[in-house]
Amino acid sequence: MVSVADGLKLLLLIVTACALGAPGAALPACPALLDHRFNSLQGKSVDLCEYANRPILAVNTASKCGYTPQFEKLEALYKRYKSRGLVVIGFPSNDFNQELASNQEIASFCRLTYFVEFPMIEKSAVTGAAANPFFRQLRAATGKAPQWNFHKYLIAPDGKTVYSFPAQAEPDSAEILGRLAPMLK
């Protein structure tokens, strides 16, 4: 029979092992690709690790681009497959000189014009040396950097496999849906 004191000591050891990351005792680590934190357009913290084990469609966006109507299809895709694990994340960028000046203006535009509910990250660079670290890793993983607004990266639930799609690929295209479908729950 184990005494209460011995039981408490054992429980304390288990909790300590979990907190210190003992093998087999901790939750799975966040994939390196997703180990990034950003602020949303509204200033709330967004930890990409929270989306681990789910398919993620990361898109560099702009409010004044010929491809801006893709927001409608991105939102429809998000609503349709959110319950099956899909996360769509928008990364507004002015790399191609077609984005509004402030995060507040971008948030209002997306919400009022396209009723966007998927996560939108604060404006940042997505190309070149100034690209945010996440987009640098996406470029390294695929060998393809955004050539224009609405370039899309589909990240598999393993957090390692990444597919790249140019701006011209519509969010609901057979090309994207064909890669996405096997990833959904």
Tell whether 69 and 125 lie within a shared domain: yes
> Could you give the 3-state DSSP secondary structure of residue 165?
strand
Tell whether 174 and 129 lie within a shared domain: yes
Residue with tokens 């789910």: 54
Tell whether 123 and 99 lie within a shared domain: yes
Q: 51 lies in which domain range? A: 31-183
Contact predicate 179/157, CB 8 Å = no
How many structural domains are present in the chain?
A: 2
Which pTM does this prediction carry?
A: 0.85
DSSP per residue, 99-155: S-SSHHHHHHHHHHHH---S-BBPP---SSTTS-HHHHHHHHHHS---SSTT-EEEE
CATH of the domain at 168: 3.40.30.10
Per-residue pLDDT of the chain (185 residues; tens, 9 = 90+): 555 555 445 444 444 444 444 444 455 689 999 999 999 999 999 999 999 999 999 999 999 999 999 999 999 999 999 999 999 999 999 999 999 999 999 999 999 999 999 999 999 999 999 999 999 999 999 999 999 999 999 999 999 999 999 999 999 999 999 999 999 99
Tell whether 17 and 94 lie within a shared domain: no
Tell whether 48 and 95 lie within a shared domain: yes
> Could you give the 3-state DSSP secondary structure of residue 161?
coil
Catalytic residues: 65
Tell whether 74 and 129 lie within a shared domain: yes
